Structure 1
């Protein structure tokens, strides 16, 4: 059977698979169809006179030199031979060369592959809908039932071809109807193939999962590509943008490389690996190693020591530097009369040597807070602290020493996102699109955080979480883990608060005991992570001094208001063998009777 095709001067002979010798079959993959420029597949048409000239059987069906396309129904499209230079198809947005169909009046071009789709798929039956769908041109504004994007652009003759159900109000882009059920992500941060779902699977609707590209919360009715093992979800629309314009990471790429002085997180020792290097670089002076010093933050002389006195477990947990509230290390300075301690580096800090200009250009100084309760609230992270802080009297703000020190290290590299540098920043207005990659919470106004131009955000608190911690409920080191948790059950529960853990948040986990913890439920890392406990206070309604503790006695409650401590912080009397305890609210009320006590919980 011969065909005289308008795209070639010689007759073409139709050949099926049985008409070729084995040697000839081996050469077929190197032949390309002269219309669509893709590898030839049998059956096909071949030219006897011209070597390697062949035509797909499907491409040969476009024998008419003019076709009507629903994307551009105003004029017929004519068969056109393009130059070898690339041109973008107005239907699929892919670059092509060679033959096409075009409208000279509107300067519109459609590649052969898109023209074939129209010829072969004018009416289809799709799994997502019970009725047949007809390929039409949109004449009104409507949203695609798959990707939720507009299908019609007003005041334009060029519109995306779409399928319509003539029985009910169902519309879908032609491109969405042609999506493959399994798709891989090339040059991206996910290795497993993704499965197409016509709605968010039921087992994932209990959480607010986000699209990994646009970071918007998924709607249950929208189509998604997902990997159930990794809880990885992508809108079909976002994935089509990825296919057209390349990798999301490459699109936001910038030429910045990590330097030798940049922070590398996570670390196991926040002081040695973060605070100390940044401060030594900041001060640009050698540390003084004197046997005894007088420091602005303490009324007694501080003596240089190289040994750590350990009496019991509580003393070990609270052997923290009173400046940066991090575990003490030798050598250090200590007070012979009380348990005041300072790192060698922190002891070299002084208001004269370390100052800062606040956001509004005011001069803020380094101070040590002193009051009866012994703590203040940080204006940046909104948590309590009783170590060093920077104070701007004009703005009436106080900032944790650590919060500001971390900002001095302006950029860092995180192991989970090592392809890009993260930059330190602060948010002055709340943006719903800025969510921390670790805790999935919004980055609110004034919060310090780390950001990458590719849309990766981390709270400063989350970014500086240590790689391993200890907990009194587990004798092994508890490691910081990042999702996906492929070797763990679908449901994880925190051993402290007993709440279910979101499968996309970071956790601390003990592999030996199979125990998981929220980072904020670890006492040393929670909202009181910048507070050193162990100080004493005298209240009027008790004869003995009370000592502040990070972890109260088991099943103890406040003798003032009856609030249960649940193992949390409290003020306890050691003389009474811990039979008398007060919560922080009752202590505040005892010092200042105008303080309003909260309603006690059962």
Structure 2
């Protein structure tokens, strides 16, 4: 894809021929852009109309004939002298205080005289300004009732001494050439008129252009930027496509979904397509799959299921498929959703090589990118002490295989040592990069809302995930539920484990009303807590048929047996989840001589005598507590809420 340097943007731009719904960063008009330029840099979704992007460095304009206007990008605090809309990139006069945005620059020179107009019954004459001697009410536009500026080009009726903004006298349109269109405000629109633009489908807010002969209504953006009548797009169809501007039910050949208005049509083969399906990107990455996927006009016969929405994919319409995974396909519209696709087109670019997280020294030794020493693998199934925590996920090692350093106390789960350096995640359309521990600095995971200081995944726009949340993929299998779970970030849902509601992002079931938030879904399945039991404690998901009462070994209060809890399979010991996993459970306790953030540090609470919380005055049951040093006095807190209470005193 060829990139060009243009003065309207700080990144190289690539041309495109599809309809893209968005806002042109040149003229700031919002709607469909066809045949323009866009930025293909990660995280930058800037788009321009073709004429806006190719704006000349200097122009002469009919509205300011005496001086040359120069193009300036991001000219601060600028209001267009014609339309009085604020803009960043546009033209200005170095001699006088005249400014022109790119939208007004693209307007064709208006005729000197309008003999017939739907705006007014008398001929209208183009005027270079309204006399300053007139009062503001006398020089108001008689369509929008807003002021016509002193030197603003406008139309004037000499018989009635009335003034009109130029934009309200426009009547003809390429999609409806048989009758002129009349400008109406929302209140003036007849009851029978459509509530949405016939061309782009956008709902009318305040203004529309209407033909009362044909009941044809379009928005001001489509009036200003009419869609092309003919389009050629080799990606989606081999023949020329023609606009059919009318209400008509059809099935789009590119995406397989229903449409009801203004398709593009091929006369040679009865091919119909939505305007925003024209020229779909050929090669893209999505956050639901590890490989690139490519657009194909037809999959062919087969039993296909979409990798994003899990609904059936009709193989006789366009879709995306993976060349490496023969069974993986995605609906065209699902693949190009803004929460799924990063908007980067990859056609013609080499595929990135995967960066290995470590170098192999021998069969049991590696050199991991996060550590200066060699790490040796242990697969003996030995259960380490509860204080031994993985540097990446800040969780107990338990009986898992792990890598350890023989020169220091650095230790990693084998699965954490194999974490991908670059990963795509279902919660975000931008890729994440793996970063090592930020030392004493703590972060907060955007999905589980847990504070941590282990390894992290971070996106280009600084979205942070801990490696527990960052390493999940779909479908997510959880022992608490018989069906696979999938990520959902659209609606407010209640967690089936603890009953609370979240809209941060959850795992949901397609088959039944079951949801888990990330905090509950990623609770450790097994923990060690030698204070209460010498055996491993396992996560239990509740018991439906229970006789008798359960009591927590830590806080000595009742445990609801129908809710989740930790228990020992050998001794029957029961503990609340909150008495095992707390606010500081994923923060590595400070080591001797380590640097802490501010005056706070997380310290172990594994001595025989439990630490007394300075706020709630209870003995903390958790394995880690927060130590706060202030004026030479150390205080301890068992939770974030207790710490906040202390700071407010």
Q: TM-score range by the shorter chain?
A: 0.3 to 0.5
Q: TM-score, normalised by structure 1?
A: 0.39
Whichever structure has more helix as a proportion of its residues is 1
Q: Which has the larger radius of gyration?
A: 1
Q: TM-score, normalised by structure 2?
A: 0.37
